[in-house]
């Protein structure tokens, strides 16, 4: 119960620090979100490349089976 209460207090403090821009928290959150977006885009591009490679391998496998 105490751990849950501490977690709630920390979340409330984090929300208030962003709302009132304590410790330049808005800039920090903005930078973190930009990094997360860049990482997400990189992962999507990598997944698209991997899908292309898998498709090519399947095409070659089908051609070899014929």
Residue 22 is predicted with a pLDDT of 92
Residue 47 is predicted with a pLDDT of 96
Residue 17 burial (10 A CB sphere; 0-12, 13-18, 19+): middle
Average pLDDT of every residue of the chain: 94
SS (H, E, C) 13-36: HHHHHHHCCHHHHHHHHHHHHHHH
In the chain, the number of structural domains is: 1
Residue 26 burial (10 A CB sphere; 0-12, 13-18, 19+): middle
- What are the residue ranges in the chain where pLDDT is below 50? none
Residue 65 is predicted with a pLDDT of 84
Q: Which domain holds residue 14?
A: 2-65
């Amino acid at each position: 119960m105490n751990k849950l209460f501490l977690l709630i207090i920390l979340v409330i403090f984090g929300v208030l620090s962003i709302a009132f821009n304590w410790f330049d928290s808005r800039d920090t959150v903005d930078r973190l979100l930009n990094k997360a977006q860049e990482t997400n885009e990189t992962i999507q591009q990598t997944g698209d490349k991997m899908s292309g490679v898998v498709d090519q391998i399947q095409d070659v496998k089908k051609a070899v089976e014929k």
